[in-house]
Amino acid sequence: MSRRRRTWRWLLAIAAGLVVAVVAGVAVAFPSVAATTCPGCYGMKQVRPGLYLEPGLPPARERQVAEAVDAANRRVTDFYGGRRSSPDILACVSATCYQKIGGGGERGIAVLNRAVMLSPNGIDPVIASHEMSHVELHVRLGSDAGLIPQWFDEGLAVVVSGDPRYLKPEGTGDRCRASTQAALPRTLDDWLRTAKADQDTYAKAACRASQWLQANGGSKAVLDLIEHMAAGGDLPASLAAASSGGR
C-alpha cells in the first residue's frame, strides 16, 4: 500500500507540474488569453462585474471609461435587439498596462469571443462596440462563425459601431466613403494582408456590408442570416460572391 501511495503521489506531482508548465506557457505565448482569463493576476481592478480597469485611476476617470463601455453596449444591443454575449472588458489608459495584458498596436481586440481588451486609444464607444460586435456575431453563429467572410464580419462591426472614419452617418442615403466592385478578403489572413496594404479596406468592407443590409432589410437581415446558417443553410450567394481567398 505504501508503494501504491508513493506511486500516486509521484503521478500527481507530475500532473501538477504539467499543469503549471502549461499555464506558464500560455501566459508567455498568449498573454492576452491569460490576462482575460484572470484579469486580477495581471493587476487589473474589477470595478463592477465584467469590467476591469487599470488600477490607480481617479473615480472620475473610472466613470468616463464605464460610460464609454455602457454606450458601446447599447449600440450592440440596439442593433441586435438584445444580447447573447457578455464579454469581460479589460480597459487600459496607459500603454504600459495594455502591453502588460498582451495588447499590441491595435486600439482594441476581441479575445476568444469571451473578452474585449481596449487600449488607451480604444476607450471609446465606437472602438468598444466594434469589438463587441465581433463577439456578439460569433456567439450567435456558434460553430458557423468560421463560414462568415472576414470582410462581412469587419464591415458589419463598422456598421454596428457607426465608425465615422469608414461610413457616412445614417440618413445620408449612400453611406460609403470608399467602394469597390472587386471581391473582398474572406479569410483572416487575407484580411490582415489586404488591410495592411490598402488603408481603405475597412471602408470598402463597411460599404459592402451597409449596402447588403439596405438591400435585405437592415439589422433583421443579420438575424435572418444567423437563423439560416443555424438551420444548416449555405452562405448566401450575395456574400459568397463578394469574397476572395480561402474557402
Q: What is the pLDDT of residues 12-23, one digit of tens each?
A: 555 443 333 333
Q: Are residues 222 and 166 in the same domain?
A: yes
Q: What is the pLDDT of residues 191-242, one digit of tens each?
A: 999 999 999 999 999 999 999 999 999 999 999 999 999 999 999 999 998 8
Q: For residues 210 and 208, give the distance between their C-alpha atoms in angstroms, rounded to a whole number.
A: 5
- Cell numbers for 193, please give them: 494582408
Q: For residues 240 and 247, give the distance between their C-alpha atoms in angstroms, rounded to a whole number.
A: 10
Mean pLDDT, the chain, rounded, equals 89
Q: For residues 111 and 89, give the distance between their C-alpha atoms in angstroms, rounded to a whole number.
A: 10
| Nearest to 128, CA basis, from 98, 89, 95 | 89
Q: Is residue 195 part of a domain?
A: yes
State residue 67's pLDDT score.
Answer: 98
Last-in-domain residue among 123, 143, 163: 143
Q: Is 108 helix (H, G, I), strand (E, B) or coil?
A: strand
State residue 49's pLDDT score.
Answer: 97
Beta-strand (E) ranges in 49-197?
Answer: 51-53, 88-91, 108-111, 115-118, 184-185
Q: What is the pLDDT of residues 63-106, one digit of tens each?
A: 999 999 999 999 999 999 999 999 999 999 999 999 999 999 99
**For the chain, how many structural domains are there in total?**
2
Q: Are residues 43 and 123 in the same domain?
A: yes
Q: Is residue 4 part of a domain?
A: no
Q: Are residues 218 and 139 in the same domain?
A: no
Q: Is residue 136 part of a domain?
A: yes
To which H or E segment does residue 233 belong? none
Q: Is residue 171 part of a domain?
A: yes
Q: What are phi and psi of 151, to 5 degrees?
A: -65, -35
Q: Is residue 80 part of a domain?
A: yes
Q: Is residue 164 part of a domain?
A: yes
Asked whether residue 190 carries a pLDDT value surpassing 50, the answer given is yes
Last-in-domain residue among 110, 143, 176: 143
Q: Are residues 160 and 233 in the same domain?
A: yes
Which domain range does residue 121 map to? 39-143
CATH of the domain at 89: 3.30.2010
Q: For residues 132 and 79, give the distance between their C-alpha atoms in angstroms, rounded to a whole number.
A: 12
Q: Are residues 240 and 153 in the same domain?
A: yes
| Nearest to 94, CA basis, from 61, 48, 133 | 61
Last-in-domain residue among 84, 110, 143: 143
Cα torsion 24, 28, 30, 31 to 10°: value is 100
